[in-house]
Structure 1
Amino acid sequence: MPCYSSEKLNGLVMEAKKYTAQGKVADYIPALKKENPNDLSAAIFHPDGRCISAGDVDQKITLQSISKVLTLALALMDCGEERVFEKVGYEPTGDPFNSIVKLELYNPSKPLNPMINAGALAVTSMIKGPSIEARLARILSFVQKLTGDQEMSYSKEVAQSEFDTADLNRALCYFMREHQIIEEEVEGLLELYTKQCAIEMTCLDLARIGLIFAMNGVDPLTKEQLIPKDIVRICKTFMVTCGMYNAAGEFAVRIGIPAKSGVSGGIMGAVPNRFGIGIFGPALDEKGNSIAGLKLLEMLSEQYSLSIF
C-alpha cells in the first residue's frame, strides 16, 4: 500500500506543490496556456478498487504524449510486433521529443522509438480503419474500455489548437513520407494525431489505466484481459526507457517505475503488480515534464520503495 490515507498523500502533494513556481505551462500550444501552473493533483488506484487521491482529481486534462503508450498498444494489437518495429525503432534518444535530427542521421527516417513525436506519428499511421473518423473511433473505444467511461472523448478546442500549430510535426511527417515510413496523406494523419493527443480524462482515469498496465493488461475490476500481456511488457519497457522524454535516464535512477508524461502536465505511472498512478501538474520543467509531478513521484518512490530496479 503506497499511502495509508488520502490525508498522507495530500501532505506529499502539498510538499511537492512548492516546486510549481520553478516551472511553466506549455505555451507553444495556445489552448494549454490557460492552465493554472499552481495546480497539482494525484490519484493512486489499487487492484481491489480502492483509490486514494489529493487535489482536484476530477479536473479534466488532455493526454498529449501519454496517448503514445495507448496507441502503441493498439497498433501492436492491429499489426503485430514485427510490422510496427519495421517502421519504428526500440532505442532511447537524448534529443527533445520533437527533434527531427536523428531521422536523417540514423537509419534514414526511421524514428528511434515510439515515444518521440516522429515515432508516435508513425505508430498512429498503423492504426487500422477505413477513414480518419473510424480510426479515431477505434482509439476512443479502446481508451473508453481502459477507463470504464463510455462517454470519454477529446477536446475539440485543444485538438484544433494543436492542429493549427503543428508545423514541426508536419515536417516530421513529410520527411517520413518521403522514405515510406508513413504511407498516407499528412493532413489526415495530423488530424487523427492531434485528436488522439487531445483525449480528455481525469487523474482518476489516468490512475486506472496505469493500474491495467501494472496488472499486465488485466482490468482487475472486471477481470477482463484488455491488452495482451506481451504487448503490455513492450509498452512498459518503453515507458521506463523513453517515457519521460530526454530525462528518462535520470527518472529511472531517481524514481524507477514505468511512467509516461505529457506536456499538459499529466503523468501516468504503473507500479508492477501493485497499483496505478495518475498525476496532473501543468507547470513543466525544461524537458517538458511536470516539475511538481516528478517531485511527488520521487517522494512516493523513496518512501514506499516503488523502484523496479
Structure 2
Amino acid sequence: MPCRSNEELARLVTIAKERTTHGKVADYIPALKRANREDLSVAIYYRDGQCISAGDIEQKITLQSISKVITLALALMDCGEERVFSKVGYEPTGDPFNSIIKLETGHSAKPLNPMINAGALAVTHLIKGETVEERLDRIIGFTRDLAGHDEITFSKEVAKSEFNTAYLNRSLCYFMKQDGIINEEVEELLDLYTKQCAIEMNCLDLSRIGLVFAMDGIDPVREKRFMPVEVARLCKTFMVTCGMYNASGEFAARVGIPAKSGVSGGIMGSVSHRFGIGIFGPSLDEKGNSIGGMKLLEMMSERYELSIF
C-alpha cells in the first residue's frame, strides 16, 4: 500500500537525510551554490487530491533539467513527433548530461536524446513563437497549467547566473548550428533556455505536475486534459531511460519509476495512475542527482512496491 501518513514519510526523510553529507551543491552555477545541502523535502500528490509531505515543501526551487520534460511535451504538441525526432534521437547515453563528445565524434550533431543538454537545447529551439519573450510566456503558461498555480515564474537571478556561465552550452549550440539542427541565433536560444531552467516552484507544484504525467496527461483533480496520451507516454519513456542522467540504468533497477532530476536538487516522479512526487534535496552525487532524494525514492519504491518492472 502507498504511504498515506506525513509521519511515516518524515521518518523516511530522516533516514535519507543522512546521505546528504556525502554530496555537494551545484557550485558551478553561482546562484545555486548558496543552497543548504542538508535540506530534504518531499510531497506526494494523489489522484484524489490528497497530499502528504515531509520537510519544507513551500521552499522554492528552480526546475533546471526537470524543465526538459515540460518543453518536450510542448514541442511535441507544437511540431509533432516526426519533426521533433528529426532534431533529436531516442537513445540513452552513458556520458554526462553536458557532454559534447557525441556531437563531435558522431556522424552528425544530432543529440542522442531530449534529456541531455544538447537534446534539450534542440527541443527548446522548436517551441513556437516569434520572440524569446513569446516562447518563454508559452513555456511558463504551460507550466502554470500543469501545476495549477498561476503565480509560477522564473528566477531572474538564477537565469542571469546561468546565462553568464553557459560556456559549454554555447559550444553545444554552435556544434548543432553547424549541422543545421538549430538555425536561430545562439544567444537568443541560450537566453530562452536559461530562463526555462530557472522556472521556480515548490515541491507541491512539482508533485502536481508529476501527477499529470502519471495520469497520461490528465489532471484528475481538475478533470482536465493538458496533453495527448501519446505525448505523456513519450515523456515518461524518456524519464525512465534518460531522466536521471547517466545514472538512469541504476535508477531504473533500484527504483523503477519515471523520474527527472535537476542540478538544483529537484526530482519529479510519476507513479503510473497513482500519484506524483516532488522532491528537493540540493546535495548532489557525482552524476548531478539529489543524493538524499535518490535514497528516499529507493526506500519508497521498496516499501510501497512502486517499480513498473
Question: Where in structure 2 are the equivalents of 1:164-243 lying within 5 Å?
Answer: 164-243=164-243
- Which whole-Å CA distance do the structure 2 matches of 1:61 and 1:32 have between them? 10
- How far apart are residue 4 of structure 1 and its match? 2.6
- Alignment partner, residue 83 of structure 2: 83
* Structure 1 vs Structure 2 CA RMSD: 0.6
Counterpart residue identity of residue 204, structure 1? L
- Which whole-Å CA distance do the structure 1 matches of 2:86 and 2:105 have between them? 17
- Alignment partner, residue 41 of structure 1: 41
Counterpart residue identity of residue 39, structure 1? D
Counterpart residue identity of residue 126, structure 1? L
- Alignment partner, residue 280 of structure 2: 280
Residues paired across the two proteins, number: 309
- How far apart are residue 180 of structure 1 and its match? 0.3
- How far apart are residue 40 of structure 1 and its match? 0.1
Query: Unpaired runs of 5+ in structure 1?
Result: none
- Which whole-Å CA distance do the structure 1 matches of 2:278 and 2:2 have between them? 13
Q: TM-score, normalised on structure 2? A: 0.99
- Which whole-Å CA distance do the structure 2 matches of 1:176 and 1:107 have between them? 12
- Alignment partner, residue 269 of structure 2: 269
- Which whole-Å CA distance do the structure 2 matches of 1:119 and 1:4 have between them? 37
1:120 aligns with 2:108: no
Q: Deviations over 1:236-285 (max 9, x none)?
A: 00000000000000000000000000000000000000000000000000
> Helix, strand or coil: the match of 2:75?
helix
> Helix, strand or coil: the match of 2:154?
coil
Bigger shift: 234-243 or 98-107? 98-107
- Which whole-Å CA distance do the structure 2 matches of 1:129 and 1:264 have between them? 28
- How far apart are residue 213 of structure 1 and its match? 0.4
Runs of 4+ aligned residues of structure 1 deviating over 3 Å after TM superposition are none
- Which whole-Å CA distance do the structure 1 matches of 2:65 and 2:283 have between them? 16
Identity %: 72
- Alignment partner, residue 143 of structure 2: 143
- Alignment partner, residue 29 of structure 1: 29
- Which whole-Å CA distance do the structure 1 matches of 2:294 and 2:125 have between them? 31
1:253 aligns with 2:253: yes
> Helix, strand or coil: the match of 1:249?
helix
Question: Where in structure 2 are the equivalents of 1:84-103 lying within 5 Å?
Answer: 84-103=84-103
> Helix, strand or coil: the match of 2:112?
coil
- Which whole-Å CA distance do the structure 2 matches of 1:132 and 1:141 have between them? 14
- Alignment partner, residue 305 of structure 1: 305
- How far apart are residue 221 of structure 1 and its match? 1.3
> Helix, strand or coil: the match of 2:93?
coil
